[in-house]
Structure 1
Amino acid sequence: MKTNKLITLALSFMALIAITSCVEDDDYAVPNILGTEENKALANMLATSTEVDFEYAKNLYNSDPNNDGDNDDAIPFEVENDIYIKGYISSSDATGNFFKEFYIQNKAENPTSAFKVAIDQTDTYNQFNKGREVYINLKGLYIGEERTGSGVITIGGTTEFDSFGGTVDRVNQNQIKTNILRSETTVELTPLTVAFADITDAIVGVFVQVDNVEFADDLNGERYFDAVEVFDTQRTLQACGGFDYSEISLETSSFSTFKEELLPTGNGSLRAVVSKTFDGSTHVLALNTTDDVMLDNARCSLFNIDDFTVTFEEDFENFGGLTNEGWTNVNISGTSTDWFISGFDNNDYARISAFSSNNSEANVWLVTPAITLDADSDAILTFDLEIAYSNGIILSAYISEDFTGDPETATWEPLNAAIPYGVTNTFGGLEPISAIDISAYSGDVHIGFFYEGSDPSATTRYHIDNVRVLSN
């Protein structure tokens, strides 16, 4: 009898090991112990619920229902209808750089939106591995923020309220089983290639790639994590932008397994998840793994202004008017939105906004006079920009070699102008946009600034100044 009891105990222990291994193995397969049940739950949800897109789900949450400019009245939205979202896991806590959370983006390639999911579970990579196709049944869950005003729209399982407003808390284990369902599909995510200026709240949680980047010059010999920090370390990444650098921080957790690795000193590409600092004030990048750091090339070099001569320059001071000075201002759609010359604090600039225009479309071109480029010379475009009352990036820059006065008949090539999102309800001051290489063009060219506005949804105000083309 004693022998039989020992055999029974041994078999039970082996079965427990088998179950544990099945749930937490690293091959990311649907665990057999849960597979049938989970697949049945997914099939039932697909048959009884309606899929909604990420933006629809995000818009269910209103962080300022009283419209008084703060978030102390924020109330997470409780989903009561049978709706779900489908997406792909973009983050991984396999290296400890994420904790009790994962991000899910709406598409495996060219994603446009993502959610943070606060989850009461560690080592989520064993179940919700990067690239896994996941369906989230939103009924019974909450949409809001973990910290009011952070701008990181999060799916949670319950709510908390204090003097700062209402927030969401983590999805519990029971909710995980009923609401967060995997398919058997895992795909290779194609990172969304972005410049630093493209990183906004709209793509928080998206797996991205930044090119031609390197760690700041003063970080040689430093590691991903600074031992004097308690929770997170931010290391500056920089990208050569002509005469100056654009920057963003890479944030590393004190719990990451790679925290003591030395920062690479070269230039190249880096893949990471767009995130924000704890207080939500600043965008940062967060690594899934240092395998996504590919900085093996020679460091980049900034342009030296002494190597260039000014081919074209306009600062709009003592300006005789757009038409008289050879500029073209054409309103493609909309009747009361135009570029015009304005000024503040003894400085003049070109200005536009669709605010109070009552135009459902306000598409307006501002085109420079002809600028002659030598086919054998390097040429770069620079300009300063001020942004206010921002509700979207609705300005872009183009170049044309066949413009004759009508922007609708010209051939326009988009320029890689790093237009930032800008600040809301205030002015941040004129700032230089990273230099744009236009050496591929020659002859008489025109630079076109195209504003795509509408009132009231896209009314961002722009000031353009100090437009220059430099050649060497």
Structure 2
Amino acid sequence: MKTKNIFKIAALAALFATATACVDNNDYSIPDTKVQEPAIKVTNTIQSIKSAYTGSGIVDFNKVSNGGDMVIEGYVVSSDEAGNFYKVLNIQDKPVNPTAAIQIAVDGFDLYNFYEVGRKVIVKLNGLGMHDNNGVLEIGVINGTDVQRITSTEYKKHIFRSTEVAEVKPVELASINDIKDTHIGMLIQLKDMQTVDKDQTYANINNTFSVNRMFKSCADDATIIMRNSGFADFKGQSISNNKGTVTAVVGKYRSDLQLFIRDTKDVNLTENRCDPLFEENFSANNFNQWTMQDVTGAQSWEIVNFGNPKPSAKISGFSSGAKENEDWMITKAIDLTGITGAILTFDSVKRYSGPDIEVYFSTNYNGGNPNDAANTWTKLNPTLDTNTGSWTSWTGSGNVDVSAAAGGKLYVAFKYVSTTSGAATFEIDNVKVAAK
């Protein structure tokens, strides 16, 4: 009899092990058989309760509810497993294509063991409040005129686990400039990202202070703070110098949007950096990166305290009347060895009437008169400023393809011409050549 019972128990254990092995909590909408679905009716969306905040003070959900229940649901996107999130849960309204998110302040540790990423939670708001925590709308317990963390003995009475564990897919954004306040608390992913400074660790190795690491978007050079805790498990690890994707929960401190990663798996930097092969904003107040050739006339390129932002390179053939001039500003050789494609960008502004500036590139400029027969120039077709009545109508050139010079040397030339019947003033700034 005892032997039969032992066999039955063993068989049941094997069956249970087989069944649970088939459940992957990372799959979308997989129920957790260890959790019972709470019998709580959801009454509000995350966005509707955020809309109750008027811009100052606190929201008391007991007063807002007028005696009724207030309940929201959402999916957990933050994790304190690696120590980079501290006593908060970030939830968003949907695991895919979310429209709203909120932060919940919880006085608890190792929250990931109970509220893992993708876990659907139901939050009872009665007895809680909401405030603006330095730019982030946050739910917590009301203490006088403040909102604080829900205590360790109370938070499970407000935040209930659903049986559902979903696969959360980050919102994909092309650039840092695409991040809006509506993304605060959401999980996003940015492509073509890299650190502004090379050879950094995520935080300081020798102390526990949180640090800001600046990342930039290769799409438009916009920058953003990645905020890393001095208590994070990965604080001493080096950040790759390459570019790639960054997945993070969006935060904010006052006016600064920030990124918070769950762990280093959120940072996938495996591609070559997008650092410019050539960059000139004339802030050094010299033409050390250029060869200047005055072919005709007395006027020359100069650096002036204007620009986008200031300073910039300026040329004008006007001196007590329009004069005849031909002046070239040519980059020193730009090395495109190993580069398969390259893009030129710059800003220009034009004032007064006269011939437009012309832009060329060469692979064999010899350093002398650009009109020498030995030099081969290919004319480019950038967008130039056409508002001759304004000094502030700076115009971006657009992406000008100079990939024909890939693999060798590239020279970019700005050719200015004026005549006795027309001498425009041109300013050039923010000249950059970058790999495609």
C-alpha separation in 2, matches of 1:155 and 1:111: 19
Q: Deviations over 1:412-467 (max 9, x none)?
A: xxxxxxxxxxxxxxxxxx9999986587xxxxxxxxxxxxxxxxxxxxxxxxxx99
Q: 2:47 matched to which residue of 1?
A: 55
If the length of structure 2 is used for normalisation, what is the TM-score?
0.56
Q: 1:140-219 maps to which residues of 2 (within 5 A)? A: 140-145=127-132, 147=133, 150-161=134-145, 167-194=146-173, 195-216=175-196, 218-219=197-198
Q: What fraction of aligned residue pairs are identical, expressed as a percent?
A: 27
- What is the DSSP-based 3-state SS (H/G/I as helix, E as strand, rest coil) of the residue aligned with 1:116? strand
Q: Is the 8 A contact 2:140 2:150 kept in 1?
A: yes
Q: 1:78 matched to which residue of 2?
A: 61
C-alpha separation in 1, matches of 2:122 and 2:215: 34
| Superposed displacement of residue 78, structure 1 | 2.8
Instruction: Summarize the Cα distance change of 1:117–1:471 in structure 2 as closer, same or farther, 3 Å threshold.
Output: closer
Give the letter for the 1:179 counterpart: H
Q: Deviations over 1:225-258 (max 9, x none)?
A: 124654311111122246xx22112111011111
C-alpha separation in 1, matches of 2:393 and 2:236: 36
Q: 1:88 matched to which residue of 2?
A: 75
If the length of structure 1 is used for normalisation, what is the TM-score?
0.52
Q: 1:289 matched to which residue of 2?
A: 263
Instruction: Summarize the Cα distance change of 1:130–1:136 in structure 2 as closer, same or farther, 3 Å threshold.
Output: same
Q: 1:382-421 maps to which residues of 2 (within 5 A)? A: none
Instruction: Summarize the Cα distance change of 1:434–1:271 in structure 2 as closer, same or farther, 3 Å threshold.
Output: farther
Structural RMSD (CA):
3.9
Q: 1:96-175 maps to which residues of 2 (within 5 A)? A: 96-145=83-132, 147=133, 150-161=134-145, 167-175=146-154
Q: 1:453 matched to which residue of 2?
A: none
Instruction: Summarize the Cα distance change of 1:471–1:141 in structure 2 as closer, same or farther, 3 Å threshold.
Output: closer
Equivalenced residue count is 285
| Superposed displacement of residue 186, structure 1 | 1.0
Q: Deviations over 1:151-209 (max 9, x none)?
A: 21011122343xxxxx3111224542332112111111111112211223221111111
| Superposed displacement of residue 83, structure 1 | 2.3
Q: Is the 8 A contact 2:32 2:165 kept in 1?
A: no
Q: Is the 8 A contact 2:32 2:164 kept in 1?
A: no
Structure 1: give runs of 5+ residues left out of the alignment.
1-25, 65-73, 162-166, 320-375, 384-429, 440-465
Q: Is the 8 A contact 2:71 2:125 kept in 1?
A: yes
| Superposed displacement of residue 215, structure 1 | 1.3
Instruction: Summarize the Cα distance change of 1:309–1:269 in structure 2 as closer, same or farther, 3 Å threshold.
Output: closer
Q: Is the 8 A contact 2:345 2:400 kept in 1?
A: no
- What is the DSSP-based 3-state SS (H/G/I as helix, E as strand, rest coil) of the residue aligned with 1:284? strand
C-alpha separation in 1, matches of 2:159 and 2:102: 13
Instruction: Summarize the Cα distance change of 1:27–1:313 in structure 2 as closer, same or farther, 3 Å threshold.
Output: closer
C-alpha separation in 2, matches of 1:304 and 1:233: 30
- What is the DSSP-based 3-state SS (H/G/I as helix, E as strand, rest coil) of the residue aligned with 1:219? coil
Q: 1:300 matched to which residue of 2?
A: 274
Q: 1:261 matched to which residue of 2?
A: 237
| Superposed displacement of residue 296, structure 1 | 1.0
**Higher gyration radius (CA):** 2
- What is the DSSP-based 3-state SS (H/G/I as helix, E as strand, rest coil) of the residue aligned with 2:222? strand
